[in-house]
Amino acid sequence: MNCFYHVEEAAVATCVDCERGLCKECTVLYQTPICSECNMKRVKNDKGNIIRIYLPSILLFLIGIFVGTSYGGVRVGISFGWIFAGAPWGWKFVTFIQPRMFLFLPLFGWVIYFFLKISLSIFVGMIAFPFGLIKLIIGIVSANKKEKNINENLKSS
């Protein structure tokens, strides 16, 4: 079997996704033996997943801005957006650290627990949101760099 990109070269490995032959030069481009086209599909999928994870926070931020500006202007809108967008991050964090000892509560206890968890999530979310936002930006920048690198490898093949 010969390399898919360099037909004159013998294949030393196959792509882990599509099983195309890869020569030594193509094999060492990435950490795993994968062709550039399959690697591009993976990066685009990862980028879509990053955006999908952060989409609720982005939408809640916009809703918060809309609600807040109708109450008291731009500053209030940004504050509401911050609080709304941080709530899902706070909920994830509170769920991660909470003990699982509340399973025995009656219905009224669950209602109180739910409102306490929401309140705590809002406060924790205001702190957790910037970290999530930084993580989003780093993920997208990293994915864009990988896409650029893969495009350069495709052009040189």
Tokens coding 50? 């990053």
Residue 105: partners with Cβ closer than 8 Å, 6 or more residues away: 113
Instruction: Find, among 40, 5, 79, 136, the residue nearest to 14 by Cα.
Output: 5
Average pLDDT of span 74-93:
89
Q: Does residue 17 register a pLDDT over 70? A: yes
pLDDT digits (tens, 9 = 90+) for 37-77: 999 999 999 999 988 888 888 899 999 999 999 888 888 99
pTM attached to this predicted model = 0.69
Residue 156 has pLDDT above 80, yes or no: no
Amino acid occupying residue 27 = T
Task: State the sign of the Cα–Cα–Cα–Cα dihedral 92, 98, 101, 104.
Answer: negative
Q: End-to-end CA distance of the chain: give it in Å, rounded.
A: 18
